Structure 1
Amino acid sequence: MREEYVFLVGSWALVFLGGCALVVRLIHQSWRKKQVREHGLPGEATVLECKGTRMYINRSQVFDFLLEVRLPGQAPYQVSLSSRMHDWNVRVMDVGLRLNVKVDPKDPQCVVVLGPVVAQDLGRFLRQGMDAMATGQVAHADPVKALADLQRMADAGLVSEDEYVRKRAEILDRL
């Protein structure tokens, strides 16, 4: 009986220590992201791949991303990242989407996504995009740029989900 009691107490102690280690790790990751967000090097990234995983956090699916990161004055490089799109304030994710990022100066593989890049002249861009959608013409000859522009329109709430899906299919058919 005594051996069973010792085994039970030891097992619960291991579970408790493992839980404490997990909590410490999550707090550290959160603190590190905050530090990179505040003090990291500003850059831009382009989504090269986006694959859904079987993992969900608070009913939001986690995705594996391959990003091409570009920092001023440096050669572009690729980073693998697992995250939820919800964390990035992106409604619709697709290959070619450009993102604002911050990079840890000590570890270039540590990237924090701030959100999608917004066109500087948003009004002109939106008018062109809406005109192109109304006439059924594509605003850009480059399909990747057209997809990115369509993404920005969806993010701005100017295109319904049905319109986005229909137009995205048209652009992908051109590839």
Structure 2
Amino acid sequence: MREEDGIMVVVAVSWALLFLGGGAFVVRLIHRAWKKEQTRHHGLPGEATVLECRATRMYINRRQVFDFLLEVRMPGQAPYQVSLSSRWHDWNVRVMDVGLRLNVKVDPKDPQGVVVLGPVVAQDLGRFLRQGMDAMATGQAAHADPVKALADLQRMADAGLVSEEEYARKRAEILDRL
């Protein structure tokens, strides 16, 4: 066997493995989406509370992905915790915060398979904006806790609710209180 033939075999095998790996990845993505949709339609209803919310460095369609720790409560069962990675705007949530209660559906065969449907109580974005803008206009702190105020301000900026100038000005005011 010539050296060129050996190289061609290695290249062909490499392409075949790459193609098979890519195909397996696509099949896995399709299966996960199908399973999520099945849980959304046929899962058991429950409620979850956001215990932790940490931003990741990953973005999908310019939307940041977060790691969440949820406490899930199902009728007649003890509460348990579930970790999820998701973009919170996929949950029909206007303002994300620890303690937020969410309607969920749980996969009957896998209690860790949780799909978030949306907040338990509809969020009034207009009221939230008015409160935040009133606090900014009067120069009053929206929160006594500056760390919480910074987190809320960041969420408003990420959602495009405040301009860059307003964000910078308010951030400076909050940092002055530290």
Give the AA of the match of 1:106. Answer: K
User: Quick one: which of 6, 21, 35 aligns to 2:9?
Assistant: 6
Change (3 A) 1:72 1:117: same
Contact 2:132 2:142 in 1 (8 A): no
Q: How many residues are paired up?
A: 140
Q: Helix, strand or coil for the counterpart of 1:160?
A: helix
Specify the code of the residue in structure 1 equivalent to 2:37. K
Q: Could you tell me which amino acid in structure 1 is paired with residue 16 of structure 2?
A: A
1:170 aligned to which of 137, 143, 146: 143
Q: Which moved more, 1:159-168 or 1:76-85?
A: 159-168
The match for 2:94 among 91, 107, 113 is 91
CA distance in 2, matches of 1:159, 1:23: 40
Identity across matched positions, percent: 69
Q: CA deviation at 1:159?
A: 2.6
Alignment of 1:153 with 2:156, yes or no, is no
Query: TM-score, normalised to structure 2's length?
Result: 0.72
Distance 2:76 2:144 in 1: 33
- Cα distance change on mapping 1:36 and 1:160 into 2, 3 Å: same
Partner Cα separation in structure 1 for residue 31 and residue 74 of structure 2: 25
Query: What are the ranges of 5 or more consecutive residues in structure 1 without an aligned counterpart?
Result: 120-151
Q: What is the CA–CA distance in structure 1 between the aligned matches of 2:81 and 2:11, rounded to whole Å?
A: 47
Q: 1:170 offset after TM fit, Å?
A: 1.3
The letter for the 1-side match of 2:124 is M
- 1:56-108, CA deviations, whole angstroms, 9 ceiling, x for partnerless residues? 11111111000000111111111111111121111221101110000011111
Amino acid at match of 2:107: D
1:14 deviates by: 1.0
Q: CA RMSD in A?
A: 2.3
Match of 1:43 in 2: 46
Secondary structure of the residue aligned to 2:27 is helix
| Residue 115 (str. 1) matches residue 118 (str. 2) | yes
| TM, length-normalised to structure 1 | 0.73
Distance (whole Å) between structure 2 residues aligned to residue 169 and residue 81 of structure 1: 29
SS of residue matched to 2:110: coil
Who wins on radius of gyration, i.e. which is larger? 2
Q: Which moved more, 1:82-91 or 1:23-32?
A: 82-91
